[in-house]
Structure 1
Amino acid sequence: MAVRNWQLSMPTPESYWINRVLFDVHHKEGHLQQYLADPLRYMDPIDLPQQRKAQIRDNAIGALYLAGANPYLLRAHALGVHMPEQAFLQSLRDVREEASHG
């Protein structure tokens, strides 16, 4: 039986760093303020491609989910940055529709 997370057979280093950023921003003192002030600067030392950093900055929830982000961390992030509920749900719906057509 294969070990699975929500998307990947095994988490990748990239998914680890996505989850690490999402966790740290919302669970470490002062990190949310640093992130909100300049998300890309906050993520500068993180070993992620610029595209992934932009997806985190832009709250591309569906794309991050497909990249292996933990759904609970994604939800906490959306709440923490005050992402509108409809935008959060639409981002997930968009990737579901893409997957069903691809």
Structure 2
Amino acid sequence: MTQSNWRQIMPTAEAYWMNRVLYDIHHVDSHLQRYKADPDAYMAEVPLAAAMKAAIRDNDIGAMYLAGVNPLLLRAHCLGLRISEAAFLDSLRAVVHDSTGEVSHG
């Protein structure tokens, strides 16, 4: 069985906004500095639920992946914040399950 990168066939508005936040943080001049200075203030006007803003702020890669964030943006986020590759992969592996319900490592 082939798994998709996202949980939804059509990304939700919430997934769009999470992708947009991560894209802007790492691709628009000065946004990374603003985000690092105060993530909550940076996301104050973004129409996301508090739990999704917390996932971004707390770098919860697994939660962002399950919410539909593009894996390439997640990787760019980790690189931009100097989150190790091991931590990135461990977070993804913790949430990727195959059809039997067991954690998939591949």
* Shorter-chain TM-score above 0.5: yes
Q: What is the CA-CA distance between 1:7 and the residue it aligns to?
A: 2.2
Give the TM-score taking structure 1 as reference length.
Answer: 0.88
Q: What is the CA-CA distance between 1:86 and the residue it aligns to?
A: 1.4
Q: Deviations over 1:19-59 (max 9, x none)?
A: 00000000000000000001111000000011111100111
Q: Does 1:19 find its partner at 2:52?
A: no
Percentage of pairs with the same residue: 56
Structure 1: runs of 5 or more not aligned: none
Structure 2: runs of 5 or more not aligned: none
Q: Does 1:8 find its partner at 2:12?
A: no
* 2:7–2:68 Cα contact (<8 Å) kept: yes
Which amino acid counterpart does residue 46 of structure 1 have in structure 2? V
Q: What is the CA-CA distance between 1:5 and the residue it aligns to?
A: 6.1
Give the TM-score taking structure 2 as reference length.
Answer: 0.85
Hey, what's the Cα distance between the residues in 2 that align with 1:57 and 1:20?
14
- The runs of 4+ residues in structure 1 deviating greater than 6 Å are none
- Of Structure 1 and Structure 2, the greater helix share is in 1
Q: For 1:1-102, list aligned pairs within 5 A.
A: 6-96=6-96, 100-101=101-102
User: Paired residues, what number?
Assistant: 99
